Structures are given as C-alpha cells and as structure tokens.
Amino acid sequence: MELNNKEQLENVRVEYTALRAEILQADNICLLMMGYLVAGFGLLYSVQLEWLVSLLAFISLCYFTEKRFSIRKIAFFVSNEVCKDNSGFRWEKYVQELRTQGKLRPFAVLRPYNAELIICCFIAISPIFNGILTELSLLNANAIFWFLFAFFTVVLSIVNATKYNQI
C-alpha cells in the first residue's frame, strides 16, 4: 500500500519526535551521571579509597562517551535523513546550513562532552593533588591499580575528544 504525501510527512514527524526525545533522554542521563560521579568521588575520598577514583572516572568516561556519540549519531541521522526533502523542519535546515557554512559556532564553546572529559580526567588524577602520591609511590597493588586506570582515562579522553570534535 502506497502512502500519500500527508501520511509520509506525518510518519517523518513522528520519527523526528521520537529521535529528539531519545536525544533529550541521553543528555539528561549524562547530567544525572555527572551528579553520581561527583557523589561517588566524594564518597571514595571520605572512606579513604582514593585509589579507586581512577576506576570510577574510567567507567564514567566510557558511559559518557557512549551516550554522547549516540547523540551525535542520532543528530546526524535527523539532519541527513529525516529532514531532507520538504519535511517542514525549518530549524533543522537552518542549523544544517550554518554548519555547512562554518558559522554554527563562531567562537569556541566548551561542549558538554568536553567538560565531562575534563572532569573525568581531573577525578582520575586527583590523588596527585591530595597528597596521596606519597602513599601510592610505594608501588603496591593500590598504586598500580590507580595509575593504570588514571592512564587509561586520560589517554581515552584524548582519543575520544579528537574523534568527537572532528564530527
């Protein structure tokens, strides 16, 4: 059965609404996770488990990366697939034109994902700033565990920031 133009437009609008809701939900989850990350960071310091903060930062970074890249993927799909033709989504077309002209962000803006990367890196290496390194310099299991996950967090942050900002 062939859909008429009005039915096709309605289907596109329903799909657009669902995709925008998914973007909003993923963004809200990232904000909620940032709160959990900060609370977990405080909890680990309060119970003197500083060596675990790098693991918490690494897990959080992986979660933020997955959510932010899925938001980018959905936004790309919306702009290139849902809003092509005469679908009536003027705002999406306007933003797409600004993006192609290089005028979407005329000045550097700290994107939410970049802020999340910075916070995760800071949390991962925070024992350095707290004077815990004197204990960690003994190269016991806690120190090695902390160092490995702090290193992975920083390296993964740099790699993902490069990929994310190229999109």
Query: Which pLDDT tens digit goes with each residue over 72-114?
Result: 888 888 877 777 766 667 777 777 777 777 766 655 566 788 8
Q: Label residue 89 left, alpha or beta by phi (over 0 means left) and psi (-120 to 50 means alpha).
A: beta
Output DSSP code: residue 56: H
Do you know the residue count of the chain?
167
Among candidates 146, 150, 165, 149, which has minimal Cα distance to 65? 165
Break the chain down into helix, strand, coil percent, rounded to 5.
80, 0, 20
- The domain ranges of the chain are 5-166
Which amino acid is present at 160? N
Token reading at 167: 């999109």
CA distance 137 to 132: 9
Burial environment of residue 72 by CB neighbours within 10 A (0 to 12, 13 to 18, 19 or more): middle
Global pTM reads 0.76
pLDDT tens for 7-49 read 877 888 888 889 989 999 999 998 889 888 989 888 888 888 8
Which amino acid is present at 87? S
